[in-house]
Chains A and B, each alone.
Chain A
Amino acid sequence: MAKVEVLFFGRMADVAGARRKTCDAVRLLTLRESFFGADVAAVRMSVNQVQVFADQALNDGDEVAFFSVFSGG
């Protein structure tokens, strides 16, 4: 198990009911499922501030984020 920092932004912070958590995790998609279940179509994710679109293994100290679609400007 890797110890990772998990951050939540936008609507996903409301859905998860958290802004930040420290978690033990092995893979990104498993971690996402633990917060959002199977209904993940709207959940974007990043690892170490780089947006990612597929599963990957997590390492100790990784910073993972889950967030809704961007809306700036």
Chain B
Amino acid sequence: MRKVLIANRGEIAVRIIRACRELGLAAAAVYSEADRDALHVRLADDALPIGAADPRESYLNIDRLVEAARSCGADAVHPGYGFLAESSGFAAAVRDAGLTFVGPPPEVIAALGDKIEARRTMERAGIARRLGAPLLVKAAGGGGGRGVRLVERLDDLPEALESARREAGAAFGSSALYLERHLPEVHHIEIQILADGGGTVCHLGERECSVQRRLQKLIEETPSPFVAPPLRARLAETAVAAAEAVRYVNAGSVEFLVEPGGQFYFLEVNTRLQVEHPITEVATGVDLVKWQLRIAAGESLPREPAVSRGHAIECRIYAEDPAQDFAPSPGPILALQEPGGPGIRVDSGVYAGWQIPVAYDPLLAKVVAWDRTRPEAIARLQGALRRYVLLGCRTNLTFLQDVVGHEAFRSGNTTTRVIEQRFRGWRPAVPDELVAVAAAVAALSEQDPTILVPGAGGDAGRVPARGEPQAFQDPWERVGRWRMGAGRG
């Protein structure tokens, strides 16, 4: 393997390009018309245009991607996440073109992509008892608890259906029913797996991914504050068994829903890198992307197990407006200061001057905080979110500060419904002082329009002569840290 085409965009393409470079592999980017100026294009050794902004014309177009790989002399293709990452057809097309697909074989992707087949496979592998979930049978026309049946075992379903149908018919004049999963307070937990071509499977601990909005993950952490060691061991054992059952190769994640009591249900296998992979990397010191590439190149996993250290939390930075139902907010990036310092990692796909395209997912970057303990990691994360400056579009940076600072998160007992339960109708605090500064900035700029021009400001670039009066009138007065009122706007 010498050159890898990255069939993706955004922060994950940037991440993969860097991993290639660090392994001495050349990296080829692809880009749609909307991504001509994207960061991943800037960083790659090669960048190939693949079509229009619409993903179907570019990042989802198998033929163009394979042709791009061929034309630039790539001998491998990394799919990233999303787009074609879990398309067995893409994996097969890459293989048929004589190239290495950085991921599981197409047959494995297909087997796990078909949820019913996946479940049957798991049943055959003896993971059956953990499959399925309790169900609620409900009357379509109903309410008030009538026509509702809780089904704990699938064997009980036929009778429950019969019974509910009768009740519903009597109560509402309609016997139409629907089924829903009964998971009132549930944790979304996944186990990271690495498997090499020789059949060695290892796990790298779990990720707690319960904090979600719009059914999309927002904050992830490892270890899960909810998972005790015996449960962790059972989840990991199940995940490894699942991977072995399908002869899994490369990186993958086995997702579970876990009830407060510790009962867990196999959900699915993600046959690709996860967005939230950095928390596992930071905790274990294992570079998952490099291992994906190494496994694809035929390397074997090391014998010693990965040891996790401390606590890692990731926040996803989205271009969206949390006060308007998380409506996406593309726009130009007029100013950008990404946080750094001890224990902070930012995986970013943007730069100042870039125009966030309308065509794609609003994920801009991910902030990961690591520290020895969860409270310390939270403290670091809060500092990093507060230092993060991104002007020109709306982001969830303020929202995330409020979520991370909320007792519901700090307690560690977050379930998949925490955002809707605790942050419905959220609005950012707009302290009067902030408004006053905003007004003063506008007034000053009316007097001197150059204040925002780089290099035009203040006394920059000049050594003040001795004894020259300072522009600031009262520099020697003691000043306190900014602590604005917390009035909700």
- To the question of whether A and B form a pair in one complex, the answer is no
